[in-house]
Chains A and B, each alone.
Chain A
Amino acid sequence: MNFLSVSLTDIGISRSVNQDSICTKVIQEDNKKASFSIVCDGMGGLSEGEVASLSVLNNFCRWADNILPVLIRNGIDFNELKEQWTKIILKQNQYLGEYGANKGIMLGTTLTALLINDGRYYGVHVGDSRIYEIKDGVHQLTRDHTLVERDIRLGNITEEQAKNDPRKNILLQCVGASPSIEPEFINGIAEENTVYMLCSDGFRHVISDEELYDNLNSNMLVNEHVMKERAKYLIELNKSRMEQDNISVILVKTI
Chain B
Amino acid sequence: MALESRFTYENQGTISFLVYNLKDEDVVDTITSGMLLNNKIEGLIPYAYSQVDTKRYFKYNITSKVTLKNYFSGSVTKRRLVGVLLSIASAILDGEDYLINVESFVFDSEFIYVDVSNYSACLVCLPISDRKSDIASMKEFAKNIMYSVQFDQSEDCDYVAQIINFLNNSATFSIAEFKRLLENIMVSDSGNKSNISNTMNLAQQKSIEVPNVMPEAPSSPIPEELKQKPVNPVSRVETSEGQKKPRKPLIDKKIMPMPKVQPNAQKATSNLGFEIPGMTPTPIKENTQEKHENQKEKKGNFFSSIFTKKEKSSGVVERKQGSVEKNIINKPIEATNKASNRPNEVVNNQLNINPLPKKEEVYPDLIPIEENIFEKTTVLTSQATSSDQANKVQNNVYTYPYLILKKTQEKIEINKEVFKLGQEPKYVDYLCTNPAVSRSHADIISRNNEYFIRDNNSTNGTFVNKTRITSNQEIKIKHEDEIVLANEVFEFRIY
Contacts and interface: CB of A to CB of B under 8 A. Distances in A.
Given A51-B355, A161-B479, A167-B398, A13 B362 contact: yes
A151 B328 CA distance: 21
B379 A16 contact: no
Contacts of B480: 161
Interface string B320-342: 00000000110110011011000
Interface in B288-343: 328-329, 331-332, 335-336, 338-339
A246 to B, nearest CB: 10
B349 interface: yes
A82 to B, nearest CB: 16
A244 B160 CA distance: 60
A43 B379 contact: yes
Contact of A169 (B328, B361, B378, B494): B378
A17 B349 contact: no
B355 A45 contact: no
A58 interface: yes
Closest 10 CB pairs of A and B: A45-B378, A44-B376, A45-B376, A47-B335, A157-B479, A105-B335, A171-B379, A172-B393, A169-B377, A14-B369
B136 interface: no
A131 interface: no
A171 B392 contact: no
Interface in A63-105: 95, 99, 103-105
Contacts of B350: 58-59
B476 A45 contact: no
Interface in A147-165: 147, 150-151, 154-158, 161, 165
A133 interface: no
B362 A95 contact: no
21 contacts: A16-B361, A41-B377, A47-B332, A48-B355, A55-B353, A105-B339, A106-B328, A145-B393, A156-B494, A157-B495, A165-B494, A167-B495, A170-B378, A170-B380, A171-B378, A171-B379, A178-B393, A179-B382, A201-B377, A244-B369, A245-B375
B347 A99 contact: yes
B36 to A, nearest CB: 44
B377 A128 contact: yes
Contacts, number: 154
A242 to B, nearest CB: 8
Contacts of A16: 358-362, 371
B403 to A, nearest CB: 15
Contact of A46 (B332, B448, B450): B332
A71 to B, nearest CB: 22
Contacts of B450: 154-156
Contacts of A13: 362-363, 366, 369
A58 B351 contact: yes
B356 interface: yes
A11 B363 CA distance: 11
Nearest to A41: B377
Contact of A47 (B336, B379, B394): B336
A171 B394 CA distance: 12
Contacts of A161: 479-480
B376 A169 contact: yes
Contacts of A128: 377
Contact of A51 (B353, B361, B373): B353
B363 to A, nearest CB: 6
A26 to B, nearest CB: 23
Interface residues of A, number: 55
A17 B377 contact: no
Given A46-B332, A180-B392, A171 B356 contact: no
Interface string A28-59: 00000000000001011111101100110011
A45 B332 contact: yes
A201 B376 CA distance: 11
Contacts of A51: 347, 353, 355
B358 A47 contact: no
Given A43-B377, A157-B495, 12 more contacts: A41-B377, A46-B335, A50-B355, A151-B449, A158-B479, A166-B495, A169-B377, A173-B379, A173-B380, A173-B391, A179-B394, A182-B393
B303 to A, nearest CB: 28
Interface in B151-197: none
Contacts of B73: none
Contacts of B379: 43, 45-46, 108, 170-174, 177-178
A15 interface: yes
B399 interface: yes
B374 interface: yes
B449 to A, nearest CB: 6
Max chain B CB contacts within 10 Å: which of A47, A105, A154, A166?
A: A47
A58 B347 CA distance: 14
A51 B358 CA distance: 13
A173 B451 contact: no
